[in-house]
Structure 1
């Protein structure tokens, strides 16, 4: 793996770790965290050329369009949609598709554990955790 790819993954993981921390401690992900993450992904794409930047913008748009119905059905919150959109700026289309799929699978597993082991069945899950797990699975782990 090239040093550039390792650097990009490190930035993505740091961004997602910050989002997880905010989601777990404050029950929301602030735009002041999301916007710099989105900008970092787009800037890193721009350094690879105009085609890469165009693909990053398209990935962000696709993430929005895929997740908008889920948001409208109150399946996830707006901050979660924005988090996946920012994450999309770092990923290829295949990685984005896998990240979304794995994020929902991890969220489903967490929900199942809550149903089995918790008395408070109306607990919401912090979706930043499944997004980080989904991104890590989609791009192949830490390194």
Structure 2
């Protein structure tokens, strides 16, 4: 639910609000804490892996800070392996969307709304499609 809300605000307001990110992060970590110590550690590791991988991308202006926070929030529900898969798949989806925008609109938009590829990659990985 929080990913979908973040996609809508990203598309219509060009911003991912913390009201979507922070509760999702706490809910993911809290749910895994309830499941047990092993799941809690996996959640923390997945969230940290998302931060470590995406922080350099943010510093080079590849994605915005809201996108990094949204990915960390999504990672709190996932394993480290699923998080890495989601990161890779989301960048592939973003590339396809970028090429489609360039071909169809014939303009070189400076950015795309990265919340959409994040949502799609999480749905693919968590749903068992990829």
Per the normalisation by structure 2, the TM-score is 0.94
Shift of 1:54: 1.4
Mapped partners of 1:137, 1:33: distance in 2: 20
- Distance in 2 (alpha carbons) for counterparts of 1:141 and 1:58: 21
Residue 53 (structure 2) pairs with residue 69 (structure 1)? no
**Unpaired segments of 5 or more residues in structure 2?**
none
Deviating runs (4+, > 3 A) in structure 1? none
Task: State the shift of 1:55 in Å.
Answer: 1.3
Indicate the residue corresponding to 2:98 in structure 1: 111
The number of aligned residues is: 129
**Could you tell me which residue of structure 1 aligns to residue 46 of structure 2?**
59
The two structures have a TM-score, normalised by structure 1, of 0.85
1:40 maps to 2:32: no
Picking from 82, 87, 111, the partner of 1:100 is: 87
Find the aligned partners of 2:110 and 2:84 in 1 and give their Cα distance.
27
Alignment deviations for residues 45-90 of structure 1 (CA, whole Å, 9 cap, x no partner): 1111122111111111110000011101100000000000000000
